Amino acid sequence: MNALAARRRHPAAIALLILVGLLITGGAYSFIAPKDANASAAAPTASVEEGKTLFLGNCASCHGTNAQGTASGPSLVGVGAAAVDFQVGTGRMPMAQPAVQAPRNAVKFDEDEIASLAAYVASLGPGPGVPDEEYTTPLEAGTEENNHAIAEGGEIFRVNCAMCHNFAGAGGALTRGKYAPGLEGVDPKHIYEAMVTGPQSMPVFSDTNLDPEAKQKVISYLKAQEDATNVGGMTLGNLGPVSEGLFAWVFMLGILIGAAVWLGKKAA
Amino acid sequence: MNDNQTTAAPVEGSALVPASGDGQVLPASLAAGPDTFENPGLPPHVHRAADIDPAAAKRAERQVATMFAISMLGALAFVVAYFAIRDEATFFLPGVGKASTQNVVLGLSLGVSILFIGLGAVHWAKTLMSDEEVVEERHVQASSPESRADAVAVVSDGVDSTGLTRRPLLKYSLGGALGLFALPLGLQVVGSLGPVTVGELKETLWDPENNNGQPIRLMRDPEMTPIKLEEVTNGSVFHVMPETLQHSIDERKHVLEGKAKAAVILIRLNPDDIKVQKARDWGVDGVVAYSKICTHVGCAVGLYEQQTHHLLCPCHQSTFDLTEDCKVIFGPAKRPLPQLKITVDDEGYLVAPEGFAEAVGPSFWERKR
């Protein structure tokens, strides 16, 4: 203990103390943080009746008892099953409280309940359905045909999506607190549904604009990006000059200052 | 502790003199000015451990040698990794993700190699090289009077031998030649500042003369397929290029220049939401087309918010309200985005019959407003 006490004014003591503190808080957080629930693999069974019950219990306070919409929530007539599957399936709905944007969140319902809710909302009026798995399965890079399709998906992504979602799909800011979320790790089905339904601030990319094959190419491009080797080193969130500049100012200048102090200090 | 004590214990050998009207007194050395300070000289030299203890010197020597040895290992690791690691090998690196093994190992080994040469050299200099303080006085800057007189003599001899003072014709013709030689140098700089005509800034590929006077179809970017009116569903956004861009694409010429001015965004609103009659008239059933080039400095304004009908420019956050004919509601842009008048042709495709009524993009000197 004496050796420790004697070194408490060592220049590295503060840095070491901060590091230990960060490790302890980080470790404690990962230990107590809520874990993702495991989704069951069985095919969901949908029932309009059950969906209506769920709707009245969880959604009607904002969307109205007949889903006709109120001052606090839009009408759901004609939004289709795809909108429900996206909003509820990503945990955006039900919203905890009114806000400028519903963030991605822990999913509150199981697959059967989501399917029932979707079936009920789809029964209110025609709208886009949950997409066919044929188009939500990302194409595997490797064959020349698939590589070509993925490259085309990249071009479509850069023209139609990158202005909000960032060139690397990292997301970005919109006006007045709204934002385009990052796309990494999003279920291909949910990416497809977002394009068809245009949730929240996002415009609609209907099948008459981007046909299902084009949507599949975009999804394949995003998934290929996730698997791609990162030859450029740390991405720093792919946010460009903001995060890179901050890193350079804080860490690079810190190292330079440390080096200057060491160079100027007389040896013991 | 306080002023009284300081003045009560004056420096030895100095007399107290009255300073100013308020009755304070200062030591004579201060009152007389800084000249009378004595140079305190350098503090006594403190020896380092390695200067007085041979064991410490030996230890420092070993430390430096160890650093150089680590550098050698780094260099050898680089050579080995260069041959041993396959180009396509990858591994998971925290903070980076899937990283190229060869990139990381080559970079690290080369970095270690050069870093430890530097660390070793600095450690060597700090512990073992002499650290005795040395004072070097500045030498007098001026040359001796003799060499200055010699230099003047050389120059005046040279001037005399050219005869410039006796032959004014040579003097003036040389001056003229040197003076005129500056003209070509200046001319190419001024001449390259830009075209004097600005017509190009007012033209886009949407002008009907690019299509023999015929209306120009709106095409999806990047697929270059025409768009039917009913395909533009409510809340949809289409990113549009003119049919005439296809010529540039086919000829592989000026594609980007064409795109840079012709980019258009096509959106369907509820016609009742559009508050400006002109905007409604220039569209079809609530489908409106606007230039995507920001009127501030020309970034692509592509961030459309479906609920608020705001168009946001990502560069400087200029925000345009689509329901008010793209009026600027926030940010540094000063003019609304120019609207492209659209109609439907015989086959049901959307066409632009007239091109833009004003120059698109940022303001320029000759734009008048």
Domain assignment present for residue B275? The answer is yes
For residues A160 and A218, what is the distance between their CA atoms, to the nearest angstrom? 10
Determine what percent of chain B is predicted with pLDDT higher than 70: 89
Q: A93 with A102: CB under 8 angstroms?
A: yes
Say yes or no for a CB contact (<8 Å) between A268 and B90: no
Instruction: Band the pLDDT of B67: cuts 50, 70, 90.
Output: very high
For residues B263 and B258, what is the distance between their CA atoms, to the nearest angstrom? 8
Say yes or no for a CB contact (<8 Å) between B305 and A156: no
Domain boundary among B127, B158, B186: B127
Chain B contact probe: residue of A161, A164, A167, A174 with most B CBs at under 10 A: A174
Distances (CA, A) of A132 to A206, A213, B107: 15, 11, 46
Q: Give the tens place of pLDDT for each residue, B318-350.
A: 999 999 999 999 999 999 999 999 999 999 999
Mean pLDDT of B9-25: 44
| Residue of B145, B255, B249, B204 whose CA lies nearest to B357 | B204
pLDDT at A41 over 50: no
Q: Which residues, listed in sequence order, are joined to residue B320 by a DSSP beta bridge? A: B311, B328
Domain assignment present for residue B62? The answer is yes
Mean pLDDT of B15-38: 54
Q: Give the tens place of pLDDT for each residue, A177-207.
A: 899 999 988 999 999 999 999 998 999 999 9
Determine what percent of chain B is predicted with pLDDT higher than 90: 60
Instruction: Band the pLDDT of A15: cuts 50, 70, 90.
Output: confident
Better-scored residue on pLDDT, B139 or A1: B139
CA dihedral B210, B211, B214, B217 (to 10 degrees): -100
Q: B343 with B356: CB under 8 angstroms?
A: no
Burial class (CB in 10 A: 0-12, 13-18, 19+), B219: buried
Residue from the list A156, A175, A214 with its beta carbon closest to the beta carbon of B305? A175
Q: Which two tokens stand for residue A202?
A: 């996002």
Mean pLDDT of A83-100: 89
Number of Cβ pairs < 8 A linking chain A and chain B: 103
pLDDT score recorded for residue B74:
97
Instruction: Band the pLDDT of B234: cuts 50, 70, 90.
Output: confident
Better-scored residue on pLDDT, B167 or B177: B177
For residues B92 and A225, what is the distance between their CA atoms, to the nearest angstrom? 15
Chain A contact probe: residue of B230, B233, B320 with most A CBs at under 10 A: B233
Helix pair A111-122, A80-89: axis angle to 10 deg: 150
Residues B256, B337, single domain; the answer is yes
Q: Which domain holds residue B57?
A: 49-127
B223: domain CATH number is 2.102.10.10
pLDDT at B18 over 50: no
Residues B219, B333, single domain; the answer is yes
Residues B225, B345, single domain; the answer is yes
CA nearest A225 in B: which residue? B98
Say yes or no for a CB contact (<8 Å) between B103 and A231: yes
Domain assignment present for residue B361? The answer is no
Cβ neighbours of residue A78 under 8 Å, at least 6 residues apart? A124, A125, A126, A127
pLDDT at A141 over 90: no
pLDDT score recorded for residue B299:
92
Q: Does B318 touch chain A (CB under 8 A)?
A: no
Q: A142 with B279: CB under 8 angstroms?
A: no
Mean pLDDT of B165-178: 92
In this structure, which amino acid lies at residue A225? Q
Residues B98, B218, single domain; the answer is no
Interface of B with A in 34-93 (CB under 8 A): 46, 48-50, 90
For residues A160 and A157, what is the distance between their CA atoms, to the nearest angstrom? 5
Residue from the list A159, A202, A229 with its beta carbon closest to the beta carbon of B306? A202
Q: Does B225 touch chain A (CB under 8 A)?
A: no
CA A112 to chain CA centroid, Å, is 23
For residues A87 and A244, what is the distance between their CA atoms, to the nearest angstrom? 33
Residues B209, B346, single domain; the answer is yes
Closest Cα in chain B, distance from residue A234 (Å): 5
| Residue of A68, A89, A70 whose CA lies nearest to A79 | A68
Better-scored residue on pLDDT, B12 or A62: A62
pLDDT score recorded for residue A43:
55
Domain assignment present for residue B134? The answer is no
Q: Find the distance separating the first CA and the last CA of chain B, reported in whole Å.
A: 70
Residues B307, B212, single domain; the answer is yes
Q: A80 with A197: CB under 8 angstroms?
A: yes
Helix pair A188-197, A80-89: axis angle to 10 deg: 130
Backbone angles phi, psi at B332, to 5 degrees: -80, -10
Residues B217, B347, single domain; the answer is yes
For residues A256 and B1, what is the distance between their CA atoms, to the nearest angstrom? 40
| Residue of A225, A64, A237, A83 whose CA lies nearest to A157 | A225
Residues B221, B306, single domain; the answer is yes
CA A173 to chain CA centroid, Å, is 14
pLDDT score recorded for residue A25:
85
Say yes or no for a CB contact (<8 Å) between B307 and A201: yes
Mean per-residue pLDDT over chain B, rounded? 87
Residues B214, B121, single domain; the answer is no
Residues B264, B348, single domain; the answer is yes
SS3 B271: helix
Residues B347, B219, single domain; the answer is yes
Domain assignment present for residue B301? The answer is yes
Instruction: Band the pLDDT of B27: cuts 50, 70, 90.
Output: low
Mean pLDDT of B145-162: 93
Closest Cα in chain A, distance from residue B190 (Å): 34
Number of domains in chain B: 2
pLDDT score recorded for residue B5:
41
Distances (CA, A) of A191 to A13, A29, A188, A194, A243: 48, 30, 5, 5, 26
Cβ neighbours of residue B225 under 8 Å, at least 6 residues apart? B219
pLDDT score recorded for residue B196:
66
pLDDT score recorded for residue B79:
97
Domain boundary among B112, B127, B142: B127
Q: Which residues, listed in sequence order, are joined to residue B344 by a DSSP beta bridge? A: B350
Domain assignment present for residue B32? The answer is no
Distances (CA, A) of B108 to A250, B111, B114, B198, B260: 21, 5, 10, 53, 42
8-state DSSP, B272: G
Residue from the list A175, A203, A262 with its beta carbon closest to the beta carbon of B312? A175
pLDDT score recorded for residue A32:
72
Domain boundary among B127, B144, B163: B127
Least confident of A41-50, A124-133, A214-223: A41-50
For residues B326 and B311, what is the distance between their CA atoms, to the nearest angstrom? 8
Mean pLDDT of B263-282: 93
Domain assignment present for residue B325? The answer is yes
Mean pLDDT of B93-122: 92
Please report which helix (H) or strand (E) contains residue B242, including its range. Answer: strand B237-242
Chain B contact probe: residue of A75, A208, A226, A251 with most B CBs at under 10 A: A208
| Residue of B86, B72, B83, B82 whose CA lies nearest to B114 | B72
Q: B236 with A205: CB under 8 angstroms?
A: yes
pLDDT score recorded for residue A238:
84
Residue from the list B48, B97, B131 with its beta carbon closest to the beta carbon of A230? B97
For residues A154 and A161, what is the distance between their CA atoms, to the nearest angstrom? 10
pLDDT at A227 over 60: yes
Closest Cα in chain B, distance from residue A29 (Å): 18
Mean pLDDT of A235-260: 91
Please report which helix (H) or strand (E) contains residue B217, including its range. Answer: strand B216-220
Q: Which residues, listed in sequence order, are joined to residue B312 by a DSSP beta bridge? A: B303, B319
pLDDT score recorded for residue B280:
92
Instruction: Band the pLDDT of B32: cuts 50, 70, 90.
Output: low
pLDDT score recorded for residue B21:
43
Instruction: Band the pLDDT of B33: cuts 50, 70, 90.
Output: low
Say yes or no for a CB contact (<8 Å) between A214 and B223: yes
Q: ipTM score of the complex?
A: 0.76
Q: Does B290 touch chain A (CB under 8 A)?
A: no
Instruction: Band the pLDDT of B34: cuts 50, 70, 90.
Output: low
CA nearest A178 in B: which residue? B305
pLDDT at B194 over 80: no
Domain assignment present for residue B246? The answer is yes
Q: Is the peptide bond before A94 cis (omega within 30 degrees of 0)?
A: yes
Mean per-residue pLDDT over chain A, rounded? 87
